Chains A and B, each alone.
Chain A
Amino acid sequence: MNLFNAGLVAVFAPLVAALLLFVVQPIRYNRHLAGGLSALGALASFAASLTLVALRMGGDPAPAIYESTWLPEAGRSVATIGMHLDGISASMLVVVSLVALCVQLFSLEYMETEPDADFGRYFTWQSLFLFSMAALVVAPNILQLFAAWELVGLCSYLLIGFYYKKPSAARAALKAFWVTKFADLGLLIGLLVQYGAVGSVGWDPATVTAMQATGSVATVVAALYFLAVMGKSAQFPLHVWLPDAMEGPTPVSALLHAATMVAAGVYLIVRAYPIFLAAPSVMLAMSLIGGFTALFAALIAINQTDIKRVLAYSTCSQLGYMVASLGAGGLFGGYFHLATHAFFKAMLFLSAGSVIHAVHSNEISHMGGLSRKMKLTTFTFITGAAALAGLPGLAGFFSKDQILEALLEATEHNTLYWAPFLMCLATVGITAYYMSRVVFLVFFGEPSEHAHHASEGGIAMWAPLLILAVPSIAAGYFGSAFLRLTGIEGEFHVNHITPVGGLAFALAFGGIGLGYALNVLKLGAGLGTALKPVADFIEYGAVDRAWLAGYRYGMLALSRGFAWTDRYIIDGLLNAIGASVLSIAEWVRGLQTGRVSDYVYVVMIGVVCLAAWSQLVSLAGGVQ
């Protein structure tokens, strides 16, 4: 199998599955066929992606681009559509398809209780989602990426609102859609600005050089693209949709948070990195926003009572890391963390799904003591939590270390980078604290009444957890292979603990110790109540309220202003013209009496006038 065929299978296998499910109703309504076909599509995609990576590892390091013209205009094409297969897209395809495969296998059992029609609908969207993300990953230019980007947004809307009969789910889906749509305007406008300035929608060196040559275009375009990234990858203050997106089924959250939706934003930065590099001020803003998001979301996660919301905020926080790293020039750290995070976050969410499936509740207080009943889930959740907290030896440790190193290195060029560095460093400790809190409260201590009858699910539920556990533990050791595959410049050492790494490590252990002290030994119970108002203020939507106020007093007021102008000034002008025409016509109409003799009078007067005129003319001529 050559690169081209492998790429085709990786992208189109899920689309074939989605189309078959969508068009052929009997397949969709048969749960075995529907689930099987969808999982088969994901499996084919995964196998083809692995082939791609194998081919890339051995072959020519230059990216293989297969494309055909798209939107021809005046003898040339505005853009191309096709596949850009290099180490980055191949590795991302593996991550995306593996996570999607595991999520779909898990869903086979998790969604068992759904009616046939809903079950089929679920897998249709799952397959379409995988296709959209794959098309985004292989996009050879930003226009195709934008098209796939919107498809990804649509699929996440459909899946977040899967339980659309529940008002809160429908609202959450709409919220996710609108917030990301608002941000997507940045991508669309940026695309237009870029095309208008340099006549290309790519990110190749020639385009970037041309953009730099035209003054501030690179900065404007990079800033607009970053707005889209902020929406998709849930950066402060556009992160508001992500926690609400927990209304979807848990496997959807796993997919959304690991491989597809939120990864798209970071992936855009990785892909269009040359453009961002040409805009240092945007890079700095990116790093600051990323660092702040990491810290802010981690602080909110401390106080959550819903296990999925803890994980949602942790995703937000980890995305902050990636963005901060990319903003500091740490391309490898950011991208590597995207990959490792995808594995352990998917595993965490699926483990949480397994727990929720067992106790039929999202509330942490309804769990407790599950380690005795669900040994495997306990193992995978703790592994995921440890990887997330960045404990040494696990995937998250290596990638997080890369990020902190990159941020520290950036401080040498610009002291402002100390801010994201310190925020990210502090977040390491907080992350360790809130994850250990969840682990202690859910898996240890006394079981609550809901948790008494909890038990492990079937093979479709635990097998994906185990599959994902492998890369979550081991991905870090493949760092140098990953570096070689992606062709990004940088260094990676497995057995080399830097001072920053050591500090982060100490902070993580401190966080876990604090988690143990506060949640198991119940020390400092007064502290929680004392800080509760602050936590409530942050949690119950200071940002949401700000957006709402902005909408109500900014957007609506502006709209009203426009409506008034439209109604009374623009429409008024037109109405005045219309009314005056009408009144003149009303007056002129009086001339048409309808009486024949009146018309004849006019004709006669005309004749007399003509005769008089001709006489005058001949008289004048006579004088001459």
Chain B
Amino acid sequence: MMDIRIFLSLAVVLFTIGVYGVLTRRNAVGILLSIELLANAVNLNLVAFGHFGAGAVGQVFALFSVALTVTEVIVGLAIVVLLYRTRQDITVDLASEMSR
């Protein structure tokens, strides 16, 4: 029987990599991928907690989370495509006109 700590540790590692990616990446697609890592780290937590005690609720939440993540990725990719169309470039630092 596997210990829950293994799953939680994996989730922490994934989450940390995701945060690192979001913070350091300048490429919009890279950021989106990193966000996916964050989301999946959380999903892993949900499934793990569900399996080790909380019951089916954790699994159901994980399914919801996956569905939400998919829609979020669709929106995010749409933004990336539009960004590319307008400036032939998907470096997010350049897209900061709204602050001025």
Contacts and interface: CB of A to CB of B under 8 A. Distances in A.
Contacts of B98: 594
Interface size class on chain B is 10 to 19
Interface string B60-74: 000000000000000
Nearest to B34: A600
A41 B24 CA distance: 95
Interface string A332-364: 000000000000000000000000000000000
B96 A604 contact: no
Contact of B23 (A589, A592, A594, A600): A600
Given A595-B92, A596-B31, A596-B92, A604 B100 contact: no
B96 A594 contact: yes
Contacts of A601: 23
Contacts of A596: 31, 92-93
A592 B97 CA distance: 11
Interface in B9-40: 19, 22-26, 31
Contact of B92 (A589, A592, A597): A597
Interface residues of A, number: 10
Interface in A593-614: 593-597, 600-601, 604
Interface string B72-100: 00000000000000000000110111111
A594 B31 contact: no
Contacts of B25: 597
A600 B22 CA distance: 7
Contacts of A600: 19, 22-23
Nearest 4 A/B pairs, CB to CB: A594-B96, A594-B99, A592-B99, A596-B92
Contacts of B99: 589, 592-594
Contacts of B22: 597, 600
Contacts of B23: 597, 600-601, 604
A484 to B, nearest CB: 90
A600 B98 CA distance: 17
A591 to B, nearest CB: 9
A165 B49 CA distance: 97
A595 B100 CA distance: 12
A593 B92 CA distance: 12
Interface in A571-624: 589, 592-597, 600-601, 604
A595 B19 contact: no
A259 B92 CA distance: 87
Contacts of A595: 92-93, 96
A170 B25 CA distance: 80
B45 to A, nearest CB: 14
Contacts of B95: 594
Given A594-B97, A604-B19, 11 more contacts: A593-B96, A594-B95, A594-B98, A595-B93, A596-B93, A597-B22, A597-B25, A600-B19, A600-B23, A601-B23, A604-B23
21 contacts: A592-B99, A594-B96, A594-B98, A594-B99, A594-B100, A595-B92, A595-B93, A595-B96, A596-B92, A596-B93, A597-B23, A597-B24, A597-B25, A597-B26, A597-B92, A597-B93, A600-B19, A600-B22, A600-B23, A604-B19, A604-B23
Pick from B23, B31, B95 the residue with the most CB of A within 10 Å: B23
